[in-house]
Amino acid sequence: MDKLIKGTAADGTIRFMAAITTEITTEAIRRHQTSPTISAALGRVMTGTLLLGSSLKEFDRLTVKIECEGAVKGITAEATTDGKVRGYVKNPHIELPPKDNGKFDVSGIIGKGMFYVIRESGFDIGLHREPYVGSVPIVSGEIAEDFAYYLAKSEQIPSAVLLGVLLQNAEPFVKASGGVMIQIMPGANEHIITIIEDTIAHAPHITSVISEGASAEDLVKLALGEIDFSILEERQIKFECNCSFERAVSLISSLGHKEVASMLKEDKGAQMTCGFCSEIYTLDEADLQKMLETSAN
């Protein structure tokens, strides 16, 4: 199963998070049937959201939302504190030719736009606090740089973010997916920062090491080089949506008696697709009949 770790180095002045997300990206692609470039973009955004979520405190649900002018139009990923992530894109099937270096043209499908980070809390105890929303313009469109820019501008945390998705032509279509985030805290030694910058500049691409079997811990080594670090937390992560048949029923029921009666008469049922995970819920005549009887009371 996919895994996320976090920890510190250099007396707590360096924080890191790293994750292998190969299964998560595979599941998202299977559900949304995304084109290769969109698959890479969605995998990077979901991985970045998990890493960012594990580093921020006081929220139940962290959402990263990209709204953009490029052909994909929008990408949304949502992570919970217990390691669940889900995500979707507005236009899953569009595709662009690869860039000159052979890489996916992720910035090409994103273009200009805004990068939002939304933190919500209080659900568990029945509170509905105003969500905290931070936003920055999209500076790169390659995703990792946009997470780093958000951290620097909105949270005042200089960081290095590496995210990658490697695809292949046969199932499972994702060969490797993962990422690492290094955050520089106040008081960090300049010499240590230089070592990290230098290590990352000369590091192999993370997807090539993940496809060779690297763990989340190996990704941290790839970014920190010779610097000692300690892992403080390790958790399993997975793609999981909180939709259910009961939720589909309550959403359709909320359309009102008249609308449900017409669905029963004209369509002999109703169908609802979850936008976040593409799960399809089918309500038959009996389900709608029961709904009408309940709402009549």
Q: Which residues bind Zn ion (CB under 5 A)?
A: 241, 243, 274, 276-277, 279
Give the orientation angle of helix 285-296 with respect to helix 245-253, to 10 degrees: 50
Q: Which residues contact 177 (CB under 8 A, 6 or more apart)?
A: 20, 21, 22, 24, 25, 26, 43, 47, 164, 165, 166, 207, 210
The label of the residue with tokens 């960090």 reads: 188
- Asked whether the beta carbons of 291 and 253 are under 8 A apart, the reply is yes
Q: In angstroms, give the least distance from the CB of 82 to Zn ion.
A: 17
Q: In angstroms, give the least distance from the CB of 294 to Zn ion.
A: 24
**Closer CB to Zn ion, residue 56 or residue 251?**
251
Q: How far apart are CA 239 and CA 266, in angstroms?
A: 36
**Closer CB to Zn ion, residue 51 or residue 277?**
277
Q: For residue 68, which amino acid is it?
A: C
Q: How far apart are CA 204 and CA 212, in angstroms?
A: 12
**Closer CB to Zn ion, residue 85 or residue 243?**
243
Half-sphere exposure of 88 (CA within 13 A, CB side): 13
**Closer CB to Zn ion, residue 247 or residue 268?**
247
Half-sphere exposure of 83 (CA within 13 A, CB side): 18
**Closer CB to Zn ion, residue 151 or residue 274?**
274
Helical H segments across the chain, by residue range: 22-32, 36-55, 106-110, 144-154, 190-201, 206-211, 216-224, 245-253, 257-262, 285-296
Q: In angstroms, give the least distance from the CB of 149 to Zn ion.
A: 30
Give the orientation angle of helix 36-55 with respect to helix 144-154, to 10 degrees: 30
Q: In angstroms, give the least distance from the CB of 278 to Zn ion.
A: 7
**Closer CB to Zn ion, residue 1 or residue 280?**
280
Q: In angstroms, give the least distance from the CB of 251 to Zn ion.
A: 12
Q: In angstroms, give the least distance from the CB of 242 to Zn ion.
A: 7
Q: In angstroms, give the least distance from the CB of 248 to Zn ion.
A: 9
**Closer CB to Zn ion, residue 45 or residue 243?**
243
- Asked whether the beta carbons of 219 and 180 are under 8 A apart, the reply is yes
Q: In angstroms, give the least distance from the CB of 172 to Zn ion.
A: 21
**Closer CB to Zn ion, residue 147 or residue 281?**
281
